[in-house]
Amino acid sequence: MIRYTLTRLALLLLGLLVASVLIFLTLRVLPGDVAQLIAGVNSTPEQVEALRQRLGLDQPLTAQYLEWISGVFRGDLGNSLLTGSSVADELAQKIRVTVPLGVMALTIAILFSVPLGVLSAMRRSRSTGTVMSVGAQTLAAVPVVWAGMMLVVVFAVWLGWLPAQGFPRTGWADPWAAFRSLLLPALTIGIVEGAMLMRFVRSATLQAVGQDYVRTAAAKGLTRDTALIRHGLPVVGLSVITVLGLQIAGIIVGAVVIEQLFALPGIGRMLVQDVSRRDLPKVQGELLVLTGFVLIVGFVVDLVHRLLDPRQREAS
C-alpha cells in the first residue's frame, strides 16, 4: 500500500509539471496581449511596446516559464499584470465563493441522486421506476444555464425567497446572507449533476442485482431488496466514489458557467475575465491550482478505492 501510494504520488507530481508546461504554452498561442488592452484603441505602437517591456512580456518564453515555475516552487504564484495584486491572494478570495458553492452542489447532488437512483433500480419494473428514470434522463440533458434561469424566475422573481444574483459584498461576515446567495446556483448545478449521478447509481444498482452474491444471499432467505441493500450497495458505493471524482471536475466546469449567470465573484468568473484580458500570469496560477485540485481528487479517490475494496488490495 505504501509503495502504491508513493508511486501514485510521484505520478501526481509529474502530472502537475506536465500540466504547468501545457498551460504555459497553450496560453501563449492565444492572440492578443495585455499591454494592448491596457493601452487601448487610441494608443500608439510605441506606447504599447513600452508597456510590454515594463510588464516583462518581451522576455523569451523559456525565461518567462522558468521564472513562473520557480516562483511556484517557492509558493509564489506571481502577480496580476493588470492590478499588480498577488494571484494567491486573489485565489484565496475567490475560493471562499467557489468551494462552498461546489460543496453545496455536491451535497445536493448526492442527497437526491443516491436514494432515488437505488429506488428507481429496485422499482425498475414498475411505472414509478420508469418515471424516475425518464425524469433523470431529462434533467441530465437540461443545459445548466436554462435550469438556473428557471430557478431564478421561480424562487427569486416570483416568490422573492432568494436573491437572483450576486454575493454579499461583506463575504461570509453575514453567513446566512452568503448561504442564501449560493443556494440557487448550488441547486442549479446540483440538480443537473445529480441527475447524471442518479442514472449512474441506477445502472450500478441494476448490475448489482444481477450479481451472483446478491442472488446467493436471496436464495439463503433474504428478500431480494434486503439482499441488495446488504450485499449489493457497498459495491455500488465503491463505483459511485470513482464517479464522484469525475463529478467534481464537472462541478468546476459548471461553476464557470453558473458564476457568470449569477454574477458570483468566484474562481470561474475570475478565470473567464482574466483569459479575455490576457492577464496570463493570473490565468496560469488559476489553471494550475484548478488542475492540481482535480489531480489531487483523483489521487484521493484512487487511495480510498483501494482501501475500501479488498479485491484490489489482494491483487497487488
| Binding residue (CB under 8 A) for other proteins from 32, 56, 175, 237 | 32
Applying CB under 8 A, the span of 27-35, 132-140, 215-223, 300-308 interacting with other proteins comes to 27-35
Task: Give yes or no for residue 167 binding other proteins (CB under 8 A).
Answer: yes
Q: Which is nearer to other proteins, 286 or 302 (CB)?
A: 286
Which residues are registered as beta bridge partners of 86?
79
Which three cell numbers, joined as nine digits, stand for 242? 470513482
Task: Give yes or no for residue 169 binding other proteins (CB under 8 A).
Answer: yes
Question: Cα dihedral angle (189, 195, 200, 206), rounded to 10 degrees?
Answer: 160
Residue pair 140/196 in contact by the 8 Å Cβ criterion: yes
Cα separation of 51 and 49, whole Å? 5
Task: Give yes or no for residue 253 binding other proteins (CB under 8 A).
Answer: no
Cα separation of 286 and 157, whole Å? 34
SS (HEC) of 146-172: HHHHHHHHHHHHHCCCCCCCCCCCCHH
Applying CB under 8 A, the span of 117-125, 201-209, 260-268, 300-308 interacting with other proteins comes to 260-268
| Binding residue (CB under 8 A) for other proteins from 5, 107, 137, 165 | 165
Instruction: Name which of residues 87 to 116 contact other proteins (CB under 8 A).
Output: 90, 93-94
DSSP state letter for 59: S
Q: How far is the CB of 34 from other proteins (least distance, A)?
A: 8
Per-residue contact track with other proteins, 48 to 87, x per CB under 8 A? x-xx------------------------------xxxx--
Instruction: Name which of residues 124 to 143 contact other proteins (CB under 8 A).
Output: 143
DSSP helix/strand/coil, 199 = helix
Which three cell numbers, joined as nine digits, stand for 41? 484603441
Cα separation of 24 and 285, whole Å? 10
Q: Which residues bind other proteins (CB under 8 A)?
A: 30-34, 36-48, 50-51, 82-85, 90, 93-94, 143, 145-146, 149-150, 152-153, 156-158, 160, 163-167, 169, 260-263, 265-266, 269-270, 273, 275-279
